[in-house]
Amino acid sequence: MPGQTEAAGVAALFFDVFGTLVDWRTSIAREAESILTPLGYRLDWLAFADFWRAEYQPGMEEVRSGRIPFARLDVLHRRNLERFIPRLGLTGLSDAVLHDLTMAWHRLDAWPDVPAALARLKRKFIIAPCSNGNIALMVDLARRNALPWDAILGAEIAGDYKPKPRAYLGSCEALNLAPGRCMMVAAHSNDLKAAAACGLRTAHTARVNEYGPNTGEAAPTVPVDYAAADLAALADKLGC
């Protein structure tokens, strides 16, 4: 495990959000249930969340590949929703219901250790999401969960989606910081691998229950500067 010197020169921490900081799966299941149950639907709500999330990477790939111009994640979430719901027998939902479902992504709950750990990390570092979520979505999650961001960075300000280099480098540039002075924090090795390739430092925080009990990465599968059991443990390691 690296010592504290690894963090020398790091001025900003960038955070992945979905999965790393917020529990999208049980939150989406809860929101979908509360919207669709009154309309008479009885579904496996966790499966509903998983179906939606399964459209996430393919939806962004349309942008990353250049097949469609950059569109905010709210727009992609709506498009992805309409793509998978017929397979669950959900047809004829009104525009208002589809919109309400789409906005469920603005109502996700943080993992319990996150708000206090971010407040600790903020004392020493500039902290910002470097997420594929759009600014409005990040603002709503922050207000709901008391995430004390210094700025909202990531895909929308960069105009492209992770793991494309532009998403990371645009976030560094917005802070006038060289990539080596920024550290990406995520529960997903592919995110950290891409950030490291851009010159950022990296920290892995385990979220073993992201897709259900013991489904997440307990440890990184790529070299990282730090690996921690959760965000509070990372704050310990960084001396915050």
Q: Can you give the binding site for its own copies, defined by CB under 8 A?
A: 74, 126, 134-136, 138-139, 142-143, 148-153, 156-157, 174-177
In the bound complex, what is the minimum distance in angstroms from residue 207's beta carbon to its own copies?
25
Question: For its own copies, which is the closer residue by CB, 142 or 194?
Answer: 142
**Comparison of 150 and 236: residue with beta carbon closer to its own copies:** 150
Calpha distance 139→135 (Å, rounded): 6
Question: Measured between alpha carbons, how far is 154 from 112 in angstroms, rounded to an integer?
Answer: 23
Instruction: Report in angstroms how near the CB of residue 11 gets to its own copies at its nearest.
Output: 10
Q: How far is the CB of 37 from its own copies (least distance, A)?
A: 27
Cα separations (Å) of 173 from 38, 48, 65, 151? 47, 38, 23, 13
CB of 166 to its own copies, least distance (A): 15
Sign of CA dihedral 24, 28, 29, 34: positive
Distance in Å, CB of 126 to its own copies, minimum: 6
Closest CA to 151 of 36, 15, 18: 15
Would you state the structure tokens that stand for residue 219, as one six-digit string? Answer: 């440890």
Our CB check for its own copies shows the closer of 139 and 229 to be 139
In whole angstroms, the minimum distance from the beta carbon of 194 to its own copies comes to 22
Query: In 33-62, which positions are buried (b, 16+ CB within 10 angstroms) versus exposed (e)?
Result: bebbeeeebebebbebbbbbbebbeebbee
In the complex with its own copies, the residue whose CB is nearer, 137 or 185, is 137
Rounded Cα–Cα distance for residues 6 and 177 (Å): 17
Nearer to its own copies, 64 or 72 (CB): 72
Which one, 102 or 202, has the nearer CB to its own copies? 102
Provide the residue type at 121 as one letter: L
